[in-house]
Amino acid sequence: MDKTQLLIALALALFALGLAGVIVRRNLLVMLMCMELMLNGVNLSLVTFAQQAGAAAGAVLVFLIFVVATAEIAIAIPIVLLLVRRRHTLDADAYADLKG
Site for another protein in 33-62 (CB under 8 A): 33-34, 36-37, 40, 43-44, 47-48, 50-57, 59-60, 62
The nearest distance, CB 80 to another protein, in angstroms, is 7
* Count of residues in contact with another protein, rule CB under 8 A: 77
CA atoms within 13 A on the CB side of 31: 14
Strand partners, 27: 91
The nearest distance, CB 97 to another protein, in angstroms, is 16
Q: Which of 4, 42, 98, 100 binds another protein (CB under 8 A)?
A: 4
The set of long-range contacts for 62-66, using a CB threshold of 8 Å and a minimum separation of 24, is: 65/39
Of 2, 4, 92, the closest CA to residue 53 belongs to 4
The nearest distance, CB 74 to another protein, in angstroms, is 5
